[in-house]
Amino acid sequence: MDSIRTVSPVDGRIYVERPLASENEIAVCIERADKARNYWQALPLSARKTFCSHAIDHFVDNKEAIAEEISWMMGRPIAYTGGEVNGVEERARHMISIADEALAPIVLEEKAGFDRYIKRVPLGVVFIIAPWNYPYLTAINAIIPALLAGNTVILKHSAQTPLCAERLFEAFEKAGLPEGVFQYLHLSHADTEKVIQSPEVKHVAFTGSVPGGAMVEKAAAGRFISAGLELGGKDPAYIRADADIAAAVETVVDGAFFNSGQSCCGIERLYVHHSVHDEVVEKCAALIKDYQLGSRMIRRQQWAHLLKRVLLILFEDRLKRRSEKGPRR
């Protein structure tokens, strides 16, 4: 395979196709990132903050086009995709605002004859691997802190959402970010592992599945580099007897069904106090029946398209098994 093809879950057509990076392109990218790190980390934090702030300005300016692309690439209704752009701006600007405090040296208690402190220093080249389900939020969570801390960044985005890497690159490029400080690569799984094993890479930030996280750990084994792994895992919700039932139902249903459950923080189980059980079930059923499925352009549509047919088969199997067992009381 020498290219990636993004098949839109909306209509099944190939929405975007991109060539995979060649061996030479990968080497050049890593070399640029390694060369740029000395200049970038030597800049004062105030300058790095300015670059990041301007990049977010340019990113937000392209909100409508970005929202459209997200919807086609991974199927989320157009009514919600613009909200991710808003979330990126909110998170990025918050991280920029707290950078001085977060990156300041930690001064330890006094000891005669010593100046004692812990200083935060850049690691070098940071390799970020981002998923498709919240393609910008998950990426920006690692990109902005890495850049503010003085690291250079190489982003590998999901084959389902390759345009996200390109749009982020364009935003930083418009902000005037020096060459090599932020780059992206479209990679195969094998080449992703090779990049992790590159001696220039000093940290890996991965968001995705548990098997994907295991791959990162295996590829980085023996290199003694740090790796941040945000993997799949979902928690239950509990509705207490004294809860505002209407508000609670609206919250838990949204938490379970947003993005059609394709979320790393989705609610898969609901526990309810026995005294309000029947009321909760009734209100949940009524709200879910009111959810809309149709064209992704319908602003009232709540159901997102499932990314792949295999997910539909999985969900149908779970529903069948749960229906056979019935609710737990």
| Residues 266, 256 contacting (CB under 8 angstroms) | yes
| Residues 78, 295 contacting (CB under 8 angstroms) | no
Q: Is 284 tagged catalytic?
A: no
- Check residue 224 and give left, alpha or beta (phi > 0: left; psi -120 to 50: alpha): left
CB neighbour burial string for 39-51, b if at least 16 within 10 angstroms, e if fewer: ebbeeeeeebbeb
103 phi/psi in degrees, rounded to 5 = -100, 0
Task: Name the token pair of 17.
Answer: 């196709």
| Residues 85, 136 contacting (CB under 8 angstroms) | yes
* Separation CA 122–CA 41 (nearest Å): 7
How far is C-alpha 240 from the geometric centre of its chain's CA atoms?
A: 31
Residue that is written with structure tokens 């479209």 in the block: 186
CB neighbour burial string for 149-188, b if at least 16 within 10 angstroms, e if fewer: bbbbbbbbbbbbbbbbbbbbbebbeebebeebbbbbbbbe
Which of the 8 DSSP states describes residue 113? T
The alpha carbon torsion through 93, 98, 104, 107 (nearest 10 deg) reads -170
* Separation CA 300–CA 309 (nearest Å): 24
Task: Name the token pair of 158.
Answer: 């999901």
The vertex-165 CA angle with 163 and 169, nearest 5°, equals 115
Q: Which of 68, 200, 217, 230 is catalytic?
A: 230
* Separation CA 85–CA 101 (nearest Å): 26
Q: Which of 68, 89, 250, 264 is catalytic?
A: 264
Integer angstrom CA distances of residue 237 from 267, 268, 318: 7, 8, 19
Q: Is 230 tagged catalytic?
A: yes
Supply the residues annotated as catalytic: 230, 264
